[in-house]
Amino acid sequence: MNNAPEINNSAAPSSAAAPTPAPVTVIGLGLMGQALAGAFLRAGHPTTVWNRTAAKADRLVADGAHLAPTAADALTAGPLTIICLTDYDAVRELLGASEDALDGRTLVNLTSGDSAQARETARWAGKRGARYLDGAIMAVPPAIGTADAVILHSGPAADFAAHEPALAALGTVTHLGEDHGLAALYDVAGLAMMWSVLNAWLQGTALLRTVGVDAATYAPFARQIAAGVAEWLPGYAEQIDSGSFPAEVSALETDARAMAHMVEESEAAGVNAELPKLIQAMAARAIAAGHGAEQYPVLIEEFSRPRAD
Ligand code: FVH
């Protein structure tokens, strides 16, 4: 079954007669909230803003935003409110103090958090009559308002569809599914990818620096390897989804011998060997469980359960 989310790359302007931009509210004007409100303004949306520290709204007000005197006023200024605060505790504190303003509103919470917090906040908001979408921003503030800003949403599809034209002003917007926790899970999965790639690069860089190869020299080589490995993902995903791991290019026990070299090189060079040893230990467990002749993605079985000590 293909559950791939639909990606709507609709940040680019359309030549068709555009509907009048809907009013939007942005609560939270940190680095990201200011970028979000700025993108709405540039796209022509009447934009109401509110921030605990009001001075952060100054530039946006100069650009045409309306500063609401209270968070409750901001929430009732229009049908759609985007919230982007430090964390979910701040969101619940803020919304809890404005509960009466929530009935009939749609909230899109782009604050980072985990899936349990997203589901719990959706339940909480629903009990107060609000429609709720959770979201995750996979971009930095300068990218907001361009197609490079990928913003993931989860929650009721009808609520996403109702506000997609406005949300599209922020970037490439995607609806992942009805489960409110999905956006947060994709966010964490993306972070796992990002940090794993960076950690692998740092490991190699640390090794090469011991012989005088600087980071800038290694970076293009590392980039080529990362891009090449990325090409393997669709085929490896098929193996994982089918539960069959034939060694088409390399067996795990072959990889494990290379892992031993990585540990030995790291230790001999006097660089940190924790990460290579962790990978080696996971492979050793899979081999001990009889998977040595299978291909690398068979390690999904190690990743899919807590380590049994
Ligand atoms: N900045 C980024 O690149 C990342 C990209 C990925 C997604 N994150 C998430 O976005 C959330 C906000 O991040 P931010 O960069 O805008 O963060 P700050 O600049 O620190 O602004 C924080 C805002 O939250 C307000 N706030 C905090 N606590 C409360 C509270 N108890 N009541 C009301 N507002 C609160 C804060 O207000 P103030 O300090 O200016 O008065 C700021 O508006 C975050 O989840 C990232 O993980 C951004």
Look at ligand 1, atom 32, and give the residue with the nearest C-alpha: 90
pLDDT 10s digits, 131-156: 999 999 999 999 999 999 999 999 99
The pLDDT of residue 19 is: 76
pTM of the model: 0.89
* CATH 3.40.50.720 describes domain 24-179: yes
Query: Which has the minimum average pLDDT: 7-16, 31-40, 237-246?
Result: 7-16
Cβ–ligand 1 contact at 85 (below 6 Å): yes
Instruction: Please say whether the beta carbons of 81 and 36 come within 8 A.
Output: no
Does residue 122 register a pLDDT over 80?
yes
How far apart (Å, rounded) are the C-alpha atoms in residues 149 and 170? Answer: 7
C-alpha 84 to ligand 1 mean position (Å): 6
The pLDDT of residue 307 is: 79
Q: Which fold has domain 186-303?
A: N-(1-d-carboxylethyl)-l-norvaline Dehydrogenase; domain 2 (1.10.1040)
- Kindly state the average pLDDT of the residues 267-278: 98
Residue of 32, 98, 109 to mutate, ligand 1, most atoms within 8 A of C-beta: 32
pLDDT band at 308 (very low <50, low <70, confident <90, very high): low
Does residue 279 register a pLDDT over 80?
yes
Cβ–ligand 1 contact at 171 (below 6 Å): no
Longest distance between any two alpha carbons in the chain, whole Å: 66
Domain ranges for the chain: 24-179, 186-303
- Kindly state the average pLDDT of the residues 198-202: 98
Residue of 85, 94, 110 to mutate, ligand 1, most atoms within 8 A of C-beta: 85
pLDDT 10s digits, 37-77: 999 999 999 999 999 999 999 999 999 999 999 999 999 99
C-alpha 10 to ligand 1 mean position (Å): 26
pLDDT 10s digits, 97-116: 999 999 999 999 999 999 99
C-alpha 29 to ligand 1 mean position (Å): 7
Cβ–ligand 1 contact at 90 (below 6 Å): yes
C-alpha 83 to ligand 1 mean position (Å): 9
The pLDDT of residue 17 is: 65
pLDDT 10s digits, 10-25: 444 445 566 799 999 9
Does residue 247 register a pLDDT over 70?
yes
